[in-house]
Structure 1
Amino acid sequence: MEDDYLEIRQDKLKELSKTLKIWIRNIKQFSKDFENDALYWYNERASLSVFAGAVWLSGGYALEEFSATKGSLGEEWKGRKDLWFCLNQQEYIVEAKFKYQSFSPQAKIFDKIKQTLNEACSDAKKSVEKDNISLGLCFIAPYLPKSKEKDMESLIESLKKELLKIDYDFLAWIFPEVSGRLSYPKNNIPIFYPGGVVLGKIA
């Protein structure tokens, strides 16, 4: 059963609504066009490119992996930032993390995703561009062993409840119907990857 969700809690980030809707739409369409593939199950860099593509398609500009100044004022160094983007003249600096996360009953979903988002925000705080909004982004590829297939729907509902408890500024997810049983072996064990999640928080 296909399901998507979008919530923006922080007024400063309302401009991201169109971008996140396009992010959801693009993942859906890709899953339809490429039956045995998905945009959400790769890695951090690939996930950032999908997000950056949504920025461009929503009328903004985006630049990935660029040289920039890091640190706090008075203690600065040259480094690389994951993503810069601009929407309606507001600029954003992003540091991102990607995590494969089990949503089996034993998994500590809340703690692990919260920690990953906090790590992204910690990195984003190293931005010294005072007029930009610094964002921590957390991309999640939830997975479940094939042995739990019969419980898939109920466990996805439990996953959603855990996600909604996290202290985020925006959250979006998409579980495309066409890729709901998409699997890939991990240690020779079939693993299902039913959807993708992105969380963001101002650092």
Structure 2
Amino acid sequence: MKSYQYKTKIQRKFTKLLLRAWNNTLRRYERIWGTDDLAYVYGEQANIGILAIAAEKAGGLPFLEFSTEKGKGKGHHQGRADLQIITHSGDCWDIEAKRVQRKCDAPDLEECIKAALNDAVRDVKNISHRSDKAMGIVFVIPYGVTMSGNEWADFEMMMMDLTVLKADFSATHLCKTDIWANTPHVDCPGIGIVGRYVFK
């Protein structure tokens, strides 16, 4: 993993294990497929799929895009949950995700991330029969990054400022230089993930 930051030691072990597996899963995709495409430049569901693969690699059992009840009272309805992971220790995590793809130097990037994280947290809280442990996450895909510039370093620094992002953890993944130089997404060489825990 290029970098990892957490605000508290609560749940750090599970999150770090999952995010290391996420980073390694992206590395595998890049080694096999990177000069043709990069897996993380696609939509929210594609990134949830990558995280589900990582969950399995980390010893968990992922369950994707399943039907569930959402809301309360008049707002109660059938909906879909993004991801549930049962860990090797038997804990169950519900995860709702959003995706932000913006120019790395967009002046409103931080605000877009915070708004998306608030939406993801609201969505996970809206699951009627939510597990005791849950998290809202945002996949952040910056573009406009150059190999010779400081764009990635600036992006990474922003992603590590959990106080500003109002997050509990974050991580970034940067494509290896030899693959980055030959990918069709040359200005989009990495991805960040930021999240906030939700406990009952």
User: Structure 1 length as normaliser, TM-score?
Assistant: 0.83
Letter in structure 1 aligned against 2:93: Y
Change (3 A) 1:73 1:52: farther
Q: Distance in 2 between matches of 1:37 and 1:110?
A: 27
Match of 1:118 in 2: 118
User: Structure 2 length as normaliser, TM-score?
Assistant: 0.85
Kindly state the Cα deviation for residue 89 of structure 1 after the two structures are TM-superposed. Answer: 1.1
Q: Does 1:174 align with 2:169?
A: no
Q: Distance in 1 between matches of 2:117 and 2:174?
A: 21
Task: Return the structure number with greater strand share.
Answer: 1
Q: Distance in 2 between matches of 1:150 and 1:58?
A: 31
What per-residue deviation string (whole Å, max 9, x for no partner) do you get for residues 106-132 of structure 1?
A: 432211111111111111110233543
What per-residue deviation string (whole Å, max 9, x for no partner) do you get for residues 42-83 of structure 1?
A: 110000000001101111111111011111489633211111
What per-residue deviation string (whole Å, max 9, x for no partner) do you get for residues 119-167 of structure 1?
A: 11111110233543221111111100xxx73753x11111112112222
| Aligned pairs for 1:124-139 within 5 A | 124-139=124-139
Equivalent residue in structure 2 for 1:198, among 182, 193, 196: 193
Given that 2:120 and 2:137 are in contact with CA atoms closer than 8 Å, whether structure 1 keeps it comes out as yes
Ranges in structure 1 where 5+ consecutive residues have no aligned partner = 185-190
Q: What secondary structure sits across from 2:79 in the alignment? A: strand
Letter in structure 1 aligned against 2:7: R
Change (3 A) 1:73 1:103: same
Kindly state the Cα deviation for residue 174 of structure 1 after the two structures are TM-superposed. Answer: 0.8
Match of 2:2 in 1: 4
How many pairs align? 190
Change (3 A) 1:51 1:139: same
Q: Distance in 1 between matches of 2:110 and 2:146?
A: 21
Larger mean CA deviation between 21-30 and 5-14 belongs to 5-14
Percentage identity across paired residues of the two chains = 22
Letter in structure 2 aligned against 1:135: M
